Amino acid sequence: MSVADLLLEGVKLMVLGMGTVFMFLMLLVVAMTGMSRLARILGPEETPVVPATQTATGSGPREDKELVAVISAAVRHYRARHR
């Protein structure tokens, strides 16, 4: 295939690819919105979970932070000595 042909193929692929990506993710937006609505109907006010990224970035509940710090240091020691 000549480079021009290849480029033509590439452009086609780009159009097709970006089209599919957008279509797919937009459909996903719709589907997820529906899903959340469904979840609200099915789950009669279950205790909402705070998005876990918060936990991942370290802002856990304050009251046991100190305890956890102590324990986690101890656990690390424990592991370091017992492996």
Partner 1 sequence: MEQLWQSTGVANLGWGQVFMMMIGGLLIYLAIARKFEPLLLVPIGFGAILSNIPIAGIAGDQGLLGYIYHVGIETGVFPLLIFMGVGALTDFGALIAMPSTLILGAAAQFGIFITLLGALALNLVPGFDFTLADASAIAIIGGADGPTAIFLASRLAPELLGAIAVAAYSYMALVPIIQPPIMRLLTNKKERRVVMQQLRPVSKLEKILFPFVVLLLCVLFLPSAAPLIGMLTFGNLLRECGVVERLSRAAQNEIINIVTIMLGLAVGSKLSADSFLTVETLGILALGAFAFCIGTAAGVIMGKIMYRLTSGRVNPLIGAAGVSAVPMAARVVNKVGLESDHHNFLLMHAMGPNVAGVIGSAVAAGILLAVVGGAAQ
Interface contacts to partner 1, rule CB under 8 A = 3, 6-7, 9-11, 13-14, 16-18, 20-29, 31-33, 35-36, 38-40, 42-43, 46, 48-57, 83
Q: Which residues of 2-33 are buried (b: 16+ CB within 10 A; e: fewer)?
A: eeeeeeeeeeeeeeeeeeeeeeeeeeeeeeee
Q: Minimum Å distance from CB 81 to its own copies?
A: 6
Q: Exactly one of 14, 35, 55, 62 binds its own copies (CB under 8 A); which one? A: 55
Does residue number 71 form part of the binding site for its own copies (CB under 8 A)?
yes
Does residue number 51 form part of the binding site for its own copies (CB under 8 A)?
no
Cα–Cα distances in angstroms (integers) from residue 73 to residues 42, 66, 76, 77, 78, in the given order: 42, 11, 5, 6, 9
**E strand or H helix at 2, and its extent?**
none
Q: Which residues bind its own copies (CB under 8 A)?
A: 55, 58, 60, 64, 67-68, 70-75, 77-78, 80-82
